[in-house]
Amino acid sequence: MSLKLHLQISGPLENNVIILQDETSGEGILFDPSFDLHDTLEIIDTEKITITSILFTHGHFDHFAGLTYLLTRLDSAPRVGLHPSDLPLWRQGGGASQFRIPIEPPAEPNLLLEHGQRLRIGIHTLEVRHTPGHSPGSVIFYIPAIQTAIVGDLIFYRGVGRTDLDGGSFESLRHSIETQVFTLPADTILVPGHGRNTSVTEEMRYNPYVGASAD
């Protein structure tokens, strides 16, 4: 298997920053670069990864806080991808003002993500699934080759993302999980934006908000 996943816990909110590396081609995709990317940059340098895309599960500030700095450190300019429904959130600083955290919005994304879109890394593909609820433009990225989905703040180990921020909706979030996460193969690993990994089976059985135990 030529795909390898690197995960670093980064910043004061303990965000999961993820690199998907194709060891055959040397390409990499980076997801949700948060604050303090020292370890992430060290992996990129050590593994000699060429970051071709930086993709965002959604537009909250703690998931894009390191983007501007990161772009100054990479040798080539990657594509920056976000779902258009989160562009207003992105442009307003990702909700940072609600937490009294001063942060400037980064440059505009140059890749607009859409439901059902397939993105390539080497010979492999990622599927974009639009999953509103935590934010209007939340998406997950399903990587069939390694039976993994990067799910941002949509769903956590026996928990779900908050829906009390601007644009949030619990009904939308629940629908997104039921139709876009629970329809993935049961053994799919779920990598959330914070906290430990989980799986489709685990959450369908034990998640008190959306799983069998919620009924």
Helical residues (DSSP H) of 13-155, grouped into ranges? 38-47, 61-64, 67-73, 87-91
Q: How confident is the model at residue 95 (pLDDT cuts 50, 70, 90)?
A: confident
Confidence of residue 101 (pLDDT cuts 50, 70, 90): confident
Q: Is the dihedral of CA 54, 70, 163, 7 positive or negative?
A: positive
- Fold held by 3-214: Metallo-beta-lactamase; Chain A (3.60.15)
Question: Is the per-residue pLDDT at 213 higher than 80?
Answer: no
Summarised one tens digit per residue, pLDDT across range 157-212 is 999 999 998 899 999 999 999 999 999 999 999 999 999 999 999 999 999 999 88
Alpha helices per DSSP H over 74-169: 87-91
pTM of the model: 0.96
* Cα Rg of the chain (Å, integer): 16
Residue 203: partners with Cβ closer than 8 Å, 6 or more residues away? 155, 157, 158, 177, 181, 182, 190, 210, 211
Identify which of 163, 208, 213, 155 has the alpha carbon closest to the alpha carbon of residue 184: 155
- The residue behind tokens 């071709």 is 52
3-state secondary structure of 50: strand
The model's pLDDT over 65-86, given as tens digits with 9 standing for 90+, comes to 999 999 999 988 999 999 999 9
